[in-house]
Amino acid sequence: MLFVFSIILVLIIAVLLIQVRRKRNAQFMHIGWFVFLVPASLFVLLIRYLPSLADGHTYFTSMKWIPSFDIHLTFYLDGLSMLFGLLITGIGALVTLYSIYYLSTDESLKHFYTYLLLFMASMLGVVFSDNLMVLYVFWELTSISSFLLIAFWNQRKKSRQGAQKSMLITVSGGMSMLAGFLMLYVMSGTFSIREIISGISQYTDQGLFVPAMLLILLGAFTKSAQFPFHIWLPDAMEAPTPVSAYLHSATMVKAGIYLVARFTPIFGGEGTWFWLVGGIGLFTMFWGSFHAVRQTDLKALLAYSTVSQLGMIMSMFGIGSVALYMGYSAETAIYTQASFAALFHLVNHSTFKGALFMVVGIIDHRVGTRDIRKLGGLLKIMPVTFTITCIGSFSMAGLPPFNGFLSKEMFFTAALKISQFDVFSLETWGILFPTIAWTGSVFTFVYCMIIVFKTFFGPYQVEKLEHHGHEATIGMLLAPGVLALLVVGIFFFPNVLGKYILTPAMSSIYPSVPPSELTVPIAAFHGFNTELLMTFGIIALGIILYKFSRYWKGIYKLFPDNLSFNALYDVILDQLGKKANSMTNFYMTGYLRDYLVYIYLFLIIAAGGILIYTKAFLFEISGNSPVSLFEWIIAMVMMAAGIAIIFANSRLTAILLNSALGYGIAVLFVIFRAPDLALTQTIIETVTTVLFLVAYYFLPEWRRERGRSISKSVNLLISICVGVIFTVIALAVQNGKLFATISGFYENAEELAGGKNIVNTILGDFRAFDTMLEVVVLLIAGIGVYTFTKLKAKKEDERG
Amino acid sequence: MKTNNVILRTVIKIVVFIILTLAVYLFFSGHDSPGGGFIGGLVLASAFVLLFIVEDIATIKKGIPVDFKRVAALGAFIAVATGFGAIIFGEPFLTQTFGHFNLPIFGETHLTTVTIFEAGVALTVVGVVVSIILSISRDV
């Protein structure tokens, strides 16, 4: 399937890109042009699927990955994943186009675009995956790649901190989501989202159902920056502006919304789902818009506005889930319109917020600041930027003739509708929905006015700007211009979008409802109803609040800085580091013998405890094969060598005695006819002995330790205990028959794998995954040793 | 480590060749008789270690101009990549296949994709062991 290979293709290009070596001063073309082709062609590819999706087709493809765990690379293209796929590739193409003009060739562009493509591929993976585990893998990949993108200017401390914050919050959310996925698997026995949806009626009353829902919601809320996890989003603004436009307007933050939409058919019937998604969404909308007004940095303002808008979309999905709660009927179909509005606003938000971020980037680029206290009067020098900003801001404020107006009216319809709905004993509380929605929208209006009027009107304070601005180049204006055109275009032709993109997506959210009832005709003018009156109210109150902002802005001082969630995060992080540090210092004494004591104590408690607990002291040795004379001799030699090590007087003797032990085991392997093991043991023993000799040759003379007699006797006790436990285990395992014998396994190795050496066929054919991971572990360990020795040598160099 | 040990140096010059041959033999015979990627790689690594002991590192580095860290990384990459190779053919991750072929010189030969996987293992082992020993010896 073409759309699946697109993900793989993006990943491959990302990997190839890092290999590009740039000749100094030989830049003939911005690397971004090549990258631009990737999302652009993917966008065209996806567009070609649109008509057949509108007819109700879906596409499905599956490749085996780990069949024994029911994990397959299963990809699914339906209306919902299509909508997100178009956003990811479409906005991705525009952002790449914009970044070509935004980032200079002095930057490490290949890293930037590699991260960007990596991010794009993982986002596409998230929205196309049908298998929960694959979805999770891609989900965490988005966190990692966005971490790399946010910290792109990693020489800045704030970039690193912002990246760390976003990563910590989103990854921990992702982990709770993983736990939720596993619970779903326990209940349903499948990782496939479609299969879970089709069998949903069987799991709803299980005990794990609500915990799974809560954990998955936690993942969605952290990713989509819902209250109180929104604190990472403003800090993530340290990223280059194209990244902010892409990650924080169009894609990454919408992964959580995608998850909520995707899981609505599963959990939407729960009352808790409605309260959490709808309630938290609505509060986030208010909180974000309320705090956006106080920001002085344009980008921070946009970040808070994104938080608010995401909350708004989230709350609409919450309201839409009521349709599932009540069961399908003609009356409840009205609530599905809320989800339709959510999807519509999702698209609208991507267009206007993408444009706004890019415009802010242009302003920053041209005059060197984003601080609205320094900006002003830019209208004269940047008229095109002004036009785009106006379109974006007014659309966000919900004014006609821009697409934000349409979806905001639908949002009010949904909020009003839910207030009349009393199934959750909402008679008194229901009124909160339209009230909070309206209040939030007033603040939205205010900050939209701030963006336009504080930046472009008023006095032009040239002395406060870093450089004298002028209009941006056409290339830079191209991408936001296209988005601005979309903002206006959607307003005039909303039903094209509705028919081809939104309705198929609605069918994925409400699979049981016939698609014809899910289509909502969008009209620019819908009569003089409550919604329109609310809009007039917003404009009136908004203008008053904007004009007299200096009189009421004092209320922000009521929020002490040290009582915020940000402060909580800082304290947790700080304390975690300090506590971990003191804890580590406590037990990391630097003495190898202390570490051995910890290891052995743990072993004694764990292994000895289990032995006592399971009463495993039954020695049954009658079934053992007789011990031959040879074996006796070797065992005696090994024991003698072992005891002699304790009394050895020099390192050389100790090393040789130690290797005598090792070679003894090798000989035992030979006697027991395990040539492979014997060979390995011999070589390992040789290499390590040589290594020891090389390393110990340079160590100072062996000195007897003159420790205190108490610690000596404690050590003696520990070593005796370890010895006893190992002997007991060796004797007791003879007795244990917990599982059927494994000697019958892989007897057919030759016909299955074509190899006569069973050890090797196990390593290479039957359990190759273990071997592969071992190889990776070996590599990591090797790099670790190498770095340690290198680091030490370097430090000594610096010192002396 | 430069010591003027004539007997050791003379012996090792011959022994290293035997060890190298043995390593190659062990590697290829692995699937049917004792040996395989891990052991083959270890034997190969021990040959290098012997060389490092009798000659100084600079000389060996001139003779074998390879960055052993890269060798290790390449090995791990090959091992993982063979897994993805199976996926391209629509099989589960890491599926291996084999067949009997009639080759011009070797006659009836048994070939298997495990050999590629084992090559990855062997390269990783060689790379890791040698780079650890090199870094330790540079350290002192």
Interface membership of B131 toward A (CB under 8 Å): yes
Quote the pLDDT of residue A746.
76
Closest to A278 (Cα-Cα) out of A135, A80, A421: A421
Quote the pLDDT of residue A661.
92
Which residues 1-30 on chain B approach chain A with CB closer than 8 angstroms? 1, 26, 30
Residue in chain A lying closest to B53 (CA): A694
Asked whether the predicted pLDDT for residue A556 surpasses 80, the reply is no
List the single best residue of B2, B53, B128, B137 to mutate versus A (max A Cβ within 10 A). B128
Q: Within 10 Å of residue A541's Cβ, how many Cβ atoms?
A: 17
The residue written with tokens 């604190």 in the block is A231
Rg (CA), chain B: 18
A753 and B139 within 8 Å at the Cβ level: the answer is no
Q: How far is B65 from chain A (nearest CA, A)?
A: 18
Taking the alpha carbons of A403, A404, A409, A411 in that order, is the dihedral positive or negative? Answer: positive
Asked whether the predicted pLDDT for residue B2 surpasses 60, the reply is no
The residue written with tokens 């063979």 in the block is B82
Distance between CA atoms of B90 and A497, rounded to whole angstroms?
A: 37
Closest to A358 (Cα-Cα) out of A455, A483, A242, A486: A242
Torsions phi, psi for A55 (to 5 deg): -80, 0
Query: What spatial distance separates the first Cα and last Cα of chain A, rounded to whole Å?
Result: 62
Sequential DSSP letters for A385-411: HHHHHHHHHHHHHT-TTSHHHHHHHHH
The residue written with tokens 């919902």 in the block is A80
User: What is the per-residue burial (b if ≥16 Cβ within 10 Å, else e) of B48-61?
Assistant: bbbbbbbbeeeebe
A676 and B36 within 8 Å at the Cβ level: the answer is yes
Q: What is the DSSP letter of A371?
A: B
Q: On the CB side of A663, how many CA atoms lie within 13 Å of its CA?
A: 11
- Distances, alpha carbon A669 to alpha carbons A165, A673, A682, in Å: 53, 6, 10
Tell me the mean pLDDT in the region B107-129: 85
Considering chain A, what percentage of its residues have pLDDT values greater than 70?
92
A744 token code pair: 């019958």
Q: Which residues in A lie closer than 8 A to residue B42 (C-beta atoms)? A: 680, 683-684, 687
Residue in chain A lying closest to B23 (CA): A683
Quote the pLDDT of residue A427.
55
Q: Could you read off the pLDDT of A50-59 as tens digits, one per residue?
A: 888 888 888 8
Q: Cite the DSSP H helix spans in A604-647.
A: 609-613, 629-646
- Decide: helix, strand or coil at residue A65: strand
Sequential DSSP letters for A407-425: HHHHHHHHHHHHHT--TTS
Asked whether the predicted pLDDT for residue A533 surpasses 60, the reply is yes
Closest to A108 (Cα-Cα) out of A18, A26, A25: A18
Q: Within 10 Å of residue A616's Cβ, how many Cβ atoms?
A: 16
Q: Which helix (H) or strand (E) holds A62?
A: strand A59-66
A34 token code pair: 């090549």
Q: Which of A67-71, A157-161, A550-554, A628-632 has the lowest mean pLDDT?
A: A550-554
Q: Enumerate residues 6+ apart whose C-beta is below 8 A from A170.
A: A143, A146, A222, A223, A232
Interface membership of A533 toward B (CB under 8 Å): no
A303 token code pair: 């970040």
Torsions phi, psi for A4 (to 5 deg): -75, -45
Q: Enumerate residues 6+ apart whose C-beta is below 8 A from A664.
A: A634, A635, A637, A638, A641
- Decide: helix, strand or coil at residue A747: coil
Closest to A128 (Cα-Cα) out of A65, A178, A194: A194
Closest to A203 (Cα-Cα) out of A221, A234, A180: A180
Interface membership of A756 toward B (CB under 8 Å): yes
Torsions phi, psi for A210 (to 5 deg): -70, -45
Q: Which residues in B lie closer than 8 A to residue A753 (C-beta atoms)? A: 31, 96, 98, 112, 114
Q: How far is A474 from chain B (nearest CA, A)?
A: 44
Quote the pLDDT of residue A20.
67
Tell which phi-psi region holds residue A676, choosing left (phi > 0), alpha (psi between -120 and 50) or beta. alpha
Closest to A49 (Cα-Cα) out of A89, A7, A78: A78
Residue scoring higher pLDDT (A529 or A706): A529
Tell me the mean pLDDT in the region A493-505: 86
Asked whether the predicted pLDDT for residue A350 surpasses 50, the reply is yes
Q: Which residues in A lie closer than 8 A to residue B83 (C-beta atoms)? A: 768-769, 772
Distance between CA atoms of A644 and A635, rounded to whole angstroms?
A: 14
Asked whether the predicted pLDDT for residue A47 surpasses 80, the reply is yes
Between B38, B117, B140, which is nearest A698 by CB?
B140
Quote the pLDDT of residue A333.
72
Sequential DSSP letters for A220-277: HHHHTT-TTGGGHHHHGGGS-HHHHHIIIIISHHHHHHHHHHHHHHHHTTSHHHIIII
Q: Enumerate residues 6+ apart whose C-beta is below 8 A from A748.
A: none
Average per-residue pLDDT for chain A? 84
Q: Which of A137-141, A221-225, A552-556, B35-39 has the lowest mean pLDDT?
A: A552-556
A318 token code pair: 């919450």
Torsions phi, psi for A677 (to 5 deg): -65, -40
Q: Enumerate residues 6+ apart whose C-beta is below 8 A from B130.
A: B45, B48, B49, B68, B71
Quote the pLDDT of residue A471.
78
Q: Cis peptide leading into A401, omega within 30 of 0?
A: yes
Interface membership of A753 toward B (CB under 8 Å): yes
Interface membership of B108 toward A (CB under 8 Å): no
Q: Enumerate residues 6+ apart whose C-beta is below 8 A from A786.
A: B69, B131, B132, B135
| β-pair partners for B108 | B102
Q: What is the DSSP letter of A372?
A: T
Residue scoring higher pLDDT (B5 or A192): A192
Taking the alpha carbons of A357, A358, A359, A361 in that order, is the dihedral positive or negative? Answer: positive
Q: How far is B4 from chain A (nearest CA, A)?
A: 16
pTM above 0.80, yes or no: no
Q: Enumerate residues 6+ apart whose C-beta is below 8 A from A503.
A: A54, A79, A515, A518, A519
Quote the pLDDT of residue A513.
80
Asked whether the predicted pLDDT for residue A421 surpasses 70, the reply is no
Between A680, A694, A768, which is nearest B94 by CB?
A768
Tell me the mean pLDDT in the region A772-798: 83
Tell me the mean pLDDT in the region A715-730: 88
Average per-residue pLDDT for chain B? 81
Q: Could you read off the pLDDT of A196-232 as tens digits, one per residue?
A: 888 887 877 788 888 999 999 999 999 888 888 888 8
Angle between helices A675-696 and B114-139 in degrees, nearest 10: 20
pLDDT classification of A334: cutoffs 50, 70, 90: confident
Q: Could you read off the pLDDT of A384-411 as tens digits, one per residue?
A: 889 999 999 999 988 888 888 888 888 8
Asked whether the predicted pLDDT for residue A253 surpasses 60, the reply is yes
Considering chain B, what percentage of its residues have pLDDT values greater than 90?
13
Quote the pLDDT of residue A424.
54
Q: Which helix (H) or strand (E) holds A63?
A: strand A59-66
Torsions phi, psi for A797 (to 5 deg): -60, -45
Interface membership of A543 toward B (CB under 8 Å): no
Between A680, A764, A781, which is nearest B39 by CB?
A680
Distance between CA atoms of A122 and A367, rounded to whole angstroms?
A: 35
Between B31, B75, B92, which is nearest A64 by CB?
B92
A53 token code pair: 């999706």
Asked whether the predicted pLDDT for residue A613 surpasses 60, the reply is yes
Torsion of CA A465, A468, A470, A472, to 10 degrees: -60
Asked whether the predicted pLDDT for residue A112 surpasses 90, the reply is no
Q: Which residues in B lie closer than 8 A to residue A782 (C-beta atoms)? A: 69, 72, 127-129, 131-132
Closest to A11 (Cα-Cα) out of A116, A103, A132, A81: A116
B113 token code pair: 């994709």
Residue A581 carries which side chain, given as an amino acid letter?
N
Q: Which of A131-140, A247-256, A380-389, B104-113 has the lowest mean pLDDT?
A: B104-113
Query: How many residues in total does chain B contain?
Result: 140
Contact A440, A388 (CB under 8 A): no
Q: Which helix (H) or strand (E) holds B83?
A: helix B68-88
Distance between CA atoms of A721 and A65, rounded to whole angstroms?
A: 45
Tell me the mean pLDDT in the region A173-187: 92
Tell me the mean pLDDT in the region B119-138: 85
- Distances, alpha carbon A392 to alpha carbons A90, A397, A449, in Å: 17, 9, 11
A·B CB contacts under 8 A: 161
List the single best residue of B93, B109, B112 to mutate versus A (max A Cβ within 10 A). B93
B80 and A778 within 8 Å at the Cβ level: the answer is no
- Distances, alpha carbon A215 to alpha carbons A177, A313, A488, A582, in Å: 5, 20, 39, 32
pLDDT classification of A778: cutoffs 50, 70, 90: very high
Interface membership of B109 toward A (CB under 8 Å): no
- Distances, alpha carbon A402 to alpha carbons A147, A303, A396, A596, in Å: 34, 21, 9, 70
Q: Within 10 Å of residue B64's Cβ, how many Cβ atoms?
A: 11
B42 and A684 within 8 Å at the Cβ level: the answer is yes
Tell me the mean pLDDT in the region A173-190: 91
Quote the pLDDT of residue A3.
66
Interface membership of A523 toward B (CB under 8 Å): no
Quote the pLDDT of residue B140.
44
Residue scoring higher pLDDT (A286 or A466): A286
Q: Which of A87-101, A118-132, A161-175, A703-717 has the lowest mean pLDDT?
A: A703-717
pLDDT classification of B88: cutoffs 50, 70, 90: confident
